[in-house]
Amino acid sequence: MNEINSLKRKCIITNQIIEISKLIRFDYKKATNILKIDWDKNMNGRGAYFVPEKQNWEKIKKTRALNRIFKTNFTFELYLKLEPELEEKLWAKKHQD
């Protein structure tokens, strides 16, 4: 487990290089055209990481950064579909603390 935590990846918004444990991963499978949030960071599709802050997510939506990263055309509805899952697991926790 320490080996996974010591790996570092670049945030698609801030361009900071940060440990994987502090990032959220999006997983995209081109064959099925499915984009998911990879909470366990173990899915085998192409991945992209971001620092889990609300302003970073807003910038991802505004610039449609996932379209650029995965070189495909996701609808804005897909971004809106991912948002409640992020809010529930990330930002709801911060409000409870």
Dump pLDDT digits (tens) for 75-86.
Answer: 999 999 999 999
Compute the Cα dihedral for 30, 42, 9, 60 and give only its sign: positive
Q: For the domain that residue 62 is a member of, what is the CATH number?
A: 3.30.1230.10
By C-alpha distance, which of 96, 81, 84 is closest to 34?
A: 81
Note down the domain range covering 12: 2-96
CA distance 40 to 50: 14
Question: 23 near 11, Cβ under 8 Å?
Answer: yes
Confidence class of residue 1 from pLDDT cuts 50, 70 and 90? Answer: very low
pTM for the model: 0.84
Quote the number of domains for the chain.
Answer: 1
